[in-house]
Amino acid sequence: MTFYKIQFNAAKMSLSLLLLIFVPTLLSAQERLRVDYEIMEYMQLKANDDTVSAAIGTVGNGTLQHAKLMPYKGKNFIYFDRESYLAGRGFLHGSVRKSVLTTYDSLSRSLPHRYFNIMECSNEDGGEMFPHKTHQTGMSIDFMMPLLKDNKPYYGLDTIGAAHYMLNFDDDGKYSRDPSISIDFNLVARKILLLDYFARQNGLNIFKVIIKIELKDELFATEYGKILKASEIYVVQGLSPLINALHDDHFHIDLGFTYNKTPQAENTESIDRILTE
């Protein structure tokens, strides 16, 4: 193990610890899947109004008005961490939320037995959401990588809550502790293409996809990956070592308004100051 690798792992570990401190995950996996009274009450409390959301500024320096809360659970998806949800980190711009929900609806019809996890979104009022440097306007979402084990859908790592950010995958997308578990790259590409397609119906499009650079080859080699590569969707070309190391268990998406000349999703922060996208 090189010095740099140790350093990245240490950074990743500290990020995860921070997340764990802020969003403690003490509940069992099964409890997390239950939409209990507290979650229902929270969803009711934060029931969406009809006012159009406003994303102000950039994903790295902005705010969000009239945010809409992602449902904790849908037919084929669930928010990944109960405490994170109740801490108010599952909000999105209304148009983004609509695009994500339509994407899941479409996936539930084409792949009725496949389940997905949505990870951190934004605060209700946007702004800084430690330790993320972006996610400030409701236009950024982290999506958990769908996994395969022996070529079958695998969900054994989906239920660990915030600690999921800490998982490590090698440069081929295989889980470091069990190489029989690997990222379903074809499904990642398919989901990105669908989200961009439905986002365009809401005046948005994907401005940026962040995924560990070493995983791009695997992503683009798949059936849907080839379509993604040929599309206009921007998949990052280069990342700081820390940001790169973090985007193996999940991929990050920034959306923006198609008509905007100044991209909402433009990230103006300097790389060293970023803890995580």
Residues interacting with Zn ion, by CB under 5 A? 142, 252, 277
- Our CB check for Zn ion shows the closer of 61 and 108 to be 61
Q: How far apart are CA 230 and CA 190, in angstroms?
A: 13
- Our CB check for Zn ion shows the closer of 6 and 19 to be 19
- Our CB check for Zn ion shows the closer of 160 and 275 to be 275
Q: Residue ranges of the alpha helices (H) in the chain?
A: 3-22, 29-33, 37-45, 82-86, 94-110, 185-200, 216-221, 223-230, 241-246
- Could you tell me which of 95, 80, 94, 75 has the C-alpha nearest to residue 143? 80
Least Cβ distance, residue 142 to Zn ion (angstroms): 4
Type of residue at 59 = V
- Our CB check for Zn ion shows the closer of 129 and 181 to be 129
Q: Which residue's C-beta sits nearest to Zn ion? A: 252
Q: How far apart are CA 223 and CA 125, in angstroms?
A: 39
Least Cβ distance, residue 132 to Zn ion (angstroms): 6
Least Cβ distance, residue 253 to Zn ion (angstroms): 8
- Our CB check for Zn ion shows the closer of 20 and 27 to be 20
Q: How far apart are CA 209 and CA 241, in angstroms?
A: 16
> Three-state SS across 160-206?
CHHHHHHCCECCCCEECCEEEEEECHHHHHHHHHHHHHHHHCCCEEE
